[in-house]
């Protein structure tokens, strides 16, 4: 809609998990290295934690598409509301194992046979479970048992558990201690600070063919950071809508007034206030 007006080849702030637009902060590079290593070296369990909108799905896709993981064949389960029976049905379907009326034991036997054959061909078979913080304990226990598939020298089914910060609390539950003990790698994505927010916006604009200096004012970028609380998904939503409004107003670069209006439309004032309040609470009163 606004691409030609701002000099873009394509829309810079789409919400798809496109590795082309992946922005690497230091923490993103570290997390990507952990994921690549955990998958390629068949580590038992790798945990990726981050708030909704921090880019976990995009980072996972980048890891799986990397040269380091070229020999990894991965299945992703992203529905946390499955029952135990539905979990195994989904597992069978994603691994292309004929389920029919097979018992759980028969299904697991077929899965083990498959991963052993792939292992013999120097292939790694991996399972990624997204939204893991919402999984029932019984499913997490089944996942722990899947991590037990192994040869005397290596794991046959490395696992990645990706989820929101609540996942860390879940893994500290006494009944899940055996799962926690199998975690070999752990990485976390935190919200972006202001410099990284500015760099994120500039990176996506450049990737789309635009000139960052001509798109948003400095005030606009600061407000985008404050109202988004540094969450990349919300940053993209604000930027996309601000560019749409700027196009309609024939305004280039987009200024703070346009960003404020977009944030009001999306009811992000509360997020802005929540972002500011802890900072104010840390300011000590001056001595008299």
pLDDT tens digits, 111-139: 999 999 999 999 999 999 999 999 999 99
Using DSSP's 3-state secondary structure scheme, residue 121 falls into coil
Give the pair of three-digit tokens for residue 252.
Answer: 């280039």
Does the pTM exceed 0.75?
Answer: yes
Tell me what pLDDT residue 281 has: 32
pLDDT of residue 285 exceeding 60: no
For the stretch 256-270, pLDDT in tens is 999 999 999 999 964
Using DSSP's 3-state secondary structure scheme, residue 232 falls into helix
Do 220 and 253 touch, CB atoms closer than 8 A?
yes
Do 139 and 84 touch, CB atoms closer than 8 A?
yes
CATH of 192-274, one of 3.30.1490.20, 1.10.8.60, 1.10.10.10, 3.40.640.10: 1.10.8.60
Longest CA–CA span in the chain (Å) reads: 78
CA dihedral in degrees (66, 203, 54, 87; nearest 10)? -40
CA 184 – CA 177 distance, rounded (Å): 14
CATH of 26-189, one of 3.40.50.300, 3.60.15.10, 3.40.430.10, 3.40.50.11810: 3.40.50.300
Q: How confident is the model at residue 29 (pLDDT cuts 50, 70, 90)?
A: very high
Give the pair of three-digit tokens for residue 171.
Answer: 């893994």
In the chain, % of residues over pLDDT 70 = 92
Do 36 and 245 touch, CB atoms closer than 8 A?
no
For the stretch 140-187, pLDDT in tens is 999 999 999 999 999 999 999 999 999 999 999 999 999 999 999 999
For the stretch 70-110, pLDDT in tens is 999 999 999 989 999 899 999 999 999 887 667 888 889 99
> In this predicted model, which residue has the larger pLDDT, 99 or 217?
217
Task: Report how far apart, in Å, the C-alpha atoms of 235 and of each of 89, 143, 155, 273 are.
Answer: 37, 34, 39, 16
Average pLDDT, the chain: 90
In degrees and rounded to multiples of 5, residue 186 shows phi and psi of: -140, 130
Tell me what pLDDT residue 101 has: 64
Question: Count H helices, E strands: the chain?
Answer: 13, 5
Annotated domain spans of the chain: 26-189, 192-274
User: Using N-to-C axis directions, what is the helix angle for 137-146 and 84-94, rounded to 10°?
Assistant: 40
């Amino acid at each position: 809609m606004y691409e030609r007006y701002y000099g873009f080849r394509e829309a810079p702030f789409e919400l798809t998990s496109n590795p082309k637009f992946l922005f690497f902060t230091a923490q993103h590079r570290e997390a990507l290295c952990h994921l690549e290593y955990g998958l390629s070296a068949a580590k038992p369990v790798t945990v990726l934690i981050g708030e909704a909108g921090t880019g976990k799905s995009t980072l996972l896709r980048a890891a799986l598409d990397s040269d380091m993981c070229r020999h990894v064949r991965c299945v992703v389960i992203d529905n946390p509301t499955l029952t135990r029976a539905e979990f195994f049905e989904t597992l069978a379907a994603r691994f292309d194992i004929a389920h029919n009326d097979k018992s759980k034991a028969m299904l697991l036997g077929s899965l083990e046979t498959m991963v052993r054959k792939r292992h013999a061909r120097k292939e790694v078979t991996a399972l990624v479970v997204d939204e893991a913080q919402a999984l029932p304990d019984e499913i997490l226990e089944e996942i722990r048992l899947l991590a037990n598939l192994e040869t005397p020298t290596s794991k046959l089914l490395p696992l990645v558990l990706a989820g929101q910060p609540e996942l860390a609390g879940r893994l500290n539950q006494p009944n899940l201690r055996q799962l926690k003990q199998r975690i070999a790698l752990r990485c976390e994505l935190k919200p972006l600070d202001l410099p990284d927010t500015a760099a994120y916006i500039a990176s996506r604009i450049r990737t789309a063919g635009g000139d960052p200096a001509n798109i948003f004012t400095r005030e606009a970028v600061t407000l985008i950071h404050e109202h988004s609380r540094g969450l990349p998904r919300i940053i993209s939503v604000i930027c996309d809508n601000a560019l749409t409004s700027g196009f309609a107003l024939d305004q280039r670069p987009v200024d703070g007034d346009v960003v404020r209006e977009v944030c009001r439309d999306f009811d992000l004032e509360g997020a802005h206030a929540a972002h500011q309040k802890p900072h104010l609470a840390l300011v000590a009163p001056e001595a008299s």
